[in-house]
Amino acid sequence: MATDTQTDTAAAQQLFQSFDAMEGLPFPAPATAVATPTQRRPLPGETLVRAVWPGFLVAATIALASTWLSTHYTAPVMLFALLFGMAFHFLHEEGRCIAGIEFSSKAILRLGVALLGARITAAQILGLGVMPIATVIVGVTSTIGLGWLASKAFGQSRSFGVLSGGAVGICGASAALAVASVLPRNADSERDTILTVVTVTALSTLAMILYPLFATAIGLDHVRAGIFLGGTIHDVAQVVGAGYTISPQTGDIATYVKLLRVTMLLPVVFTVAFIASRAAGAGAAAGPKPPVPMFLLGFAALVALNSFGLLAKPATDAANEVSRWCLVTAIAALGMKTSFKALVAVGWRPVALMVLETLWIGGLVLAAVLLFH
């Protein structure tokens, strides 16, 4: 099972290697250290801390510098963190910082998003109406359908169309890995999954930079901008970064709408698994069930507590401050993970398909925001 210290590409490779091992193919087991009587038994969590602290320290330092610059020059802290992180991309290519960068962009991000629930109430969510929910459902399902229909025109398999549509429509790399785990396997399965992870991450990073500028240029207010950003950008991290670049209100709404898209992961994966199993025959083995995102449950729990007035103001203030630092640190790590060189190497056809899917969901959500809100 993938961990928060692995790269997304390594997680995709491990996914297919684990399938090979289950099929009885030779796959070497990882070497384990043999404890000697003189060795000290590590404390709980000590191994993880030793692995992640160099990369986490770099990300936290970039977050601190970005916050200082944002305060003194009145510019978006998320944009500073992203650009500074991209300048240190070489640290993610090899060396001791990789595990900490991955940990910061995943585990620290999820903690920050979960703590955002302490600043949102059910009244604020209900005030948005049913339009965001309907937009999310239509956007996700139609994007996957578009990928399936258009895949042949771009020289790709139907499976790649579903895989890329799910990644674009739901939550980026996480959705790509979940959908890949239940799709029928072929000789190109691993390549397609890795390609989708790399491309959707790069496109989402571009959207994080460009979409706030676009939303401001066409005059969207904070509410409509939040719905647009949360309903279109692929990964949770970039949605948070883009939303809070405009305003705290936009960031809150964008996060809520994005988490609605994340909840679509379970029904989509189960539906794809059911269809794939039926297509392969009644005896086909079902793929592994994706786990329920715990940060989503944490977010919902804090929203419920805050809605009933069970969180004191000092607690909400502390949660908001910790969340802010977590999110800026995660965006800095995300910048260090961004490699446009890797995107250029994959060829134009699959990238063009994912760009089409991105434009589709972007246009659909924008139309819904302008016409129905």
**DSSP code per residue over 14-40:** HHHHHHHHHTT---PPPP-PPP-TTSP
Q: Find out whether 6 and 174 touch, Cβ atoms under 8 Å.
A: no
How much is the pLDDT for 342? 63
User: Residue 24 pLDDT more than 60?
Assistant: no
pTM above 0.85, yes or no: no
Q: Does residue 231 form part of some domain?
A: yes
Q: Span 264-293, mean pLDDT?
A: 67
User: Which own/partner contact pairs does 139-142 have at CB distance under 8 Å and 24+ positions apart?
Assistant: 139/169, 139/231, 139/232, 139/261, 139/361, 139/364, 139/365, 140/169, 140/170, 140/261, 140/264, 140/268, 141/169, 142/360, 142/361, 142/364
Q: Provide the sign of the torsion angle of the four alpha carbons 266, 267, 268, 274, taken in this order.
A: positive
Greater confidence (314 vs 335) lies with: 314
Q: Find out whether 172 and 354 touch, Cβ atoms under 8 Å.
A: no
Q: Does residue 25 form part of some domain?
A: no
Closest by Cα among 16, 285, 44, 327 to 176: 16
Q: Does residue 8 form part of some domain?
A: no
Greater confidence (210 vs 127) lies with: 210
Highest mean pLDDT (candidates 160-164, 204-208, 281-285): 160-164
Q: Does residue 116 form part of some domain?
A: yes
User: In angstroms, what CA-CA distances link 368 with 130, 131, 218, 243?
Assistant: 12, 8, 15, 18
Q: Span 58-75, mean pLDDT?
A: 89
- Average pLDDT across the chain, whole number: 82
How much is the pLDDT for 100? 94
User: Residue 269 pLDDT more than 90?
Assistant: no
User: Residue 169 pLDDT more than 60?
Assistant: yes
User: Residue 30 pLDDT more than 80?
Assistant: no
How much is the pLDDT for 363? 95
Q: Does residue 24 form part of some domain?
A: no
How much is the pLDDT for 153? 92
Q: Which domain holds residue 179?
A: 49-281+289-372
Q: Find out whether 85 and 332 touch, Cβ atoms under 8 Å.
A: yes
26 pLDDT tier (thresholds 50, 70, 90): very low
Greater confidence (357 vs 80) lies with: 357
How much is the pLDDT for 151? 92
Q: Does residue 244 form part of some domain?
A: yes
Q: Does residue 199 form part of some domain?
A: yes
Overall number of domains in the chain: 1
Q: Does residue 252 form part of some domain?
A: yes
